[in-house]
């Protein structure tokens, strides 16, 4: 009998530890204070040049990092930003590239952000040249999911 009781106690302890680990992992995953994404972007074919751009939702504020300047740019300066608390953010290169600011074929990235009311917004930024100042060369933030 004692062996059975010990085995049950050990199983219960393992299950509790596993549940606690799963809960703490979920908190880390959903923590918007540390959300980060990156994308490798082909900026030139001849010679082949690939740069890695990063986005983060640091304390609810969306940021974009240009590796050519090592500067983080606040995306709240992009037209259409309503200042919502960003909980998730992603970045990818746009293929094919739509014209931005009259350029025929710029190198561009799409940034998608989810705010705390679960709405998704998207913008496309021209990263042909190193980013500097405000406003950034981005399209207006556009709602892409229903409220």
Domain with 9 in it: 1-30
Q: Which of 6-20, 69-83, 130-144 has the lowest mean pLDDT?
A: 6-20
Residues 36 and 10 both lie in one domain: no
Q: 55: which 2 tokens? A: 């986005």
- The pLDDT tens digits for 18-71 are 444 444 333 334 454 567 899 999 887 778 889 999 999 988 999 999 999 989
Q: Look at residues 141, 21, 31 and name the one whose alpha carbon lies nearest to residue 80.
A: 141
Residues 39 and 100 both lie in one domain: yes
Q: Look at residues 65, 82, 76 and name the one whose alpha carbon lies nearest to residue 132.
A: 65
Confidence class for position 17, pLDDT limits 50, 70, 90: very low
Count of domains forming the chain: 2
pTM: 0.71
Confidence class for position 126, pLDDT limits 50, 70, 90: very high
Residues 89 and 131 both lie in one domain: yes
Q: Is the distance from CB of 10 to CB of 17 less than 8 angstroms?
A: no
Residues 102 and 39 both lie in one domain: yes
pLDDT at residue number 49: 86
Residues 10 and 72 both lie in one domain: no
């Amino acid at each position: 009998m004692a062996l059975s009781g010990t085995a049950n106690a050990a199983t219960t302890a393992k299950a509790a530890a596993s549940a606690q680990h799963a809960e703490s992992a979920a908190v880390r995953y959903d923590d918007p204070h540390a959300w980060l994404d990156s994308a490798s972007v082909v900026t030139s074919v001849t010679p082949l040049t690939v740069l890695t751009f990063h986005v983060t939702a640091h304390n609810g504020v969306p940021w974009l990092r240009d590796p050519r300047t090592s500067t983080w740019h606040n995306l709240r300066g992009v037209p259409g930003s309503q200042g919502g608390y960003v909980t998730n953010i992603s970045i990818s290169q746009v293929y094919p590239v739509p014209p931005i600011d009259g350029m025929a074929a710029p190198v561009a990235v799409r940034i998608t952000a989810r705010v705390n009311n679960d709405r998704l917004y998207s913008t496309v930024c021209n990263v042909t040249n190193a980013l500097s100042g405000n406003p950034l060369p981005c399209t207006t933030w556009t709602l892409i999911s229903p409220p």
